[in-house]
Chain A
Amino acid sequence: MTFNYDVPGDDFTRAGEASGDLKKKLKKLGFPSSVIRRVSIALYEGEINMVIHANGGHITADVNTDEINLTLADVGPGIPDIEKAMQDGYSTASDQVRNLGFGAGMGLPNMKRNSDEISIETELGVGTTVRMKILNQ
């Protein structure tokens, strides 16, 4: 089954709503806590990225008994250098964002670490779509 979430841009207080809600639902569905944690962390990092860099976007969570597929789509500026962005600690976040405790450059690496498969489609000036698969095992 599919759950949909809109992520508002520039509102840090609401980042985490989607991952928080999905976490509750996965608990109700009886997923093991290790799987729920990975989904929750991966999705939260994605949400934060969408808020910081892309002025929000849309999340689709496709869930079945074997796996959870997360699609995070935005119409933001795109990622200029994915390889750099995947490195621990690399960040282009503004000082303002860093002062809020974000922008440590662990977003994408954390998403990669917590998912079994990740693919990123990005085009400068058009937007980014991140797809993550987390297996129920």
Chain B
Amino acid sequence: MADFIHSVTLDKDKCLGCTNCIKRCPTSAIRVENGKARIISSLCIDCGECIRVCPHHAKIAVCQGFDVLNDFEYTIALPAPSLYAQFNNLEGPEIVVEGLRILGFDDVFEVAQAAELVSDATRKYLKGSDPDMTIISSACPTISRLIRIRFPDLIGNLLPLLTPAELAGKLAKERAMRETGLPADKIGTIFISPCTAKASSIYSPIGLEKSNIDAVISIKDVYTRLVGVLNQAQDTCGISDSGRVGVSWGSSGGEGAALLTDSYLAADGIENCIKVLNEMEDEKLNNIRFVELNACPGGCVGGVFTVENPFISRVKLTSVRKYLPPYKNIIRDDLVPDEYRWSSEMEYRPVMELDPDMEKAFAMMEEVERLTSKLPGLNCGSCGSPSCRTLAEDIVRGYSTENACVFVLRDEVQHIADLLSKISGIGMGRKPIDDKKNDDRSK
């Protein structure tokens, strides 16, 4: 299914089959099979936690290299706001914008600029929606995917607006078509991404049929090239179209703060986000109007494609935006423009279910419970499943066996050894009849 294309993948030669990634995955989407990690596609939400934790660098994220610029007649860079947080003593976003031009892009459309428009659209959307409803940001694709497979009740709470990157792609392409007269397919919108989730979302975008982004290059791939030209860029004095609001989207809390409401919550780090979603699902989170969730620690500056430590990035982002005006982009209309809205609905994917047939699911659950109580409960991961309960589920689904558990296996080997030693003690088979003994008795 085209919807399950991921950017996170495995370099089999480097994978040792250790248990680091299976234990870290927030959706239990990884198993070790035949000594190599395997990602279960339907469960993966592209958070990149496995890439972060793999000590052997076997988990990698695929995106395009710099030569993708040759595929188009006209190229537009879409730099994520978090890119500005990667450099020392950067005086303003315009230097990065100019640097990207020097590197060969024909045009630059800052995602921060589109972010300001999304902020304005969100304010208008909030004004027009039920004031008692809590709206969840849809900017982090990992969070949207997590909600789609695990929190079906909250799909209706997601902000049904394009992400800043998608909006930037759309507006950039429209502008280039107007200015150059070229057809859409000759113009390449190339997103410079802080993370894996945003890289995969061009293949399976949320809320629209086809992405407005043609290719993705990671921040770390652009970083070294950009560092080399920033001095030169400083002299040419480029122009940036984003203000403080747009640049602030790069770290956690930036999106929420732009909504001009005190009643927003911002959480970052995937486990923290799951906790907030659980609270929301149980209706325990009241009087919060907007929930900003970022799967990466610190927000987008904590993405796996970033170079700088997220906490240092945060400080750098603050200094980059210091002398910017509050914002440079607004929507003239009072309503949310239609082109900002999702054009397709998000549907729940019940990938957690044991079986679509409830009777069967019950029978499987009985078996899972029985097996779980037999397993040691150490959640060691040696069997290739992240926990004893997941092993039990894998066995019931037919993907593993009880012997995959080293402790079950040890007990079985012990049992066999006991039998063997018993046999060796008494010896095997018949013993010769001792005539002398029989004779003695008969006396």
Contact = CB atoms under 8 A, between A and B. Distances in A.
Contacts of A37: 153, 281-283
Contacts of A30: 350, 353-356, 358, 361
A65 B359 CA distance: 7
B369 interface: yes
B278 interface: yes
Contacts of B53: none
Contact of B361 (A19, A28, A44): A28
Category for how many chain A residues contact B: 10 to 19
Interface string A24-49: 01011111011001001100100000
Nearest to A136: B358
B420 to A, nearest CB: 40
Category for how many chain B residues contact A: 20 to 34
Contacts of A19: 282
B282 A44 contact: yes
A29 B365 contact: yes
A113 to B, nearest CB: 11
A125 to B, nearest CB: 32
Contacts of A100: none
Contacts of A33: 152-153, 348
Nearest to A28: B354
Given A37-B283, A40-B282, A64-B362, A29 B353 contact: yes
B365 A41 contact: no
29 contacts: A1-B366, A19-B282, A20-B278, A23-B281, A23-B282, A27-B352, A28-B354, A28-B393, A29-B354, A29-B358, A29-B361, A29-B362, A29-B365, A30-B350, A30-B353, A30-B354, A30-B355, A30-B358, A30-B361, A31-B358, A33-B152, A33-B153, A37-B153, A37-B282, A37-B283, A40-B281, A40-B282, A65-B358, A65-B362
The 10 A-B pairs of least Cβ separation, nearest first, read: A30-B353, A33-B153, A33-B152, A29-B361, A65-B358, A30-B361, A28-B354, A27-B352, A40-B282, A30-B358
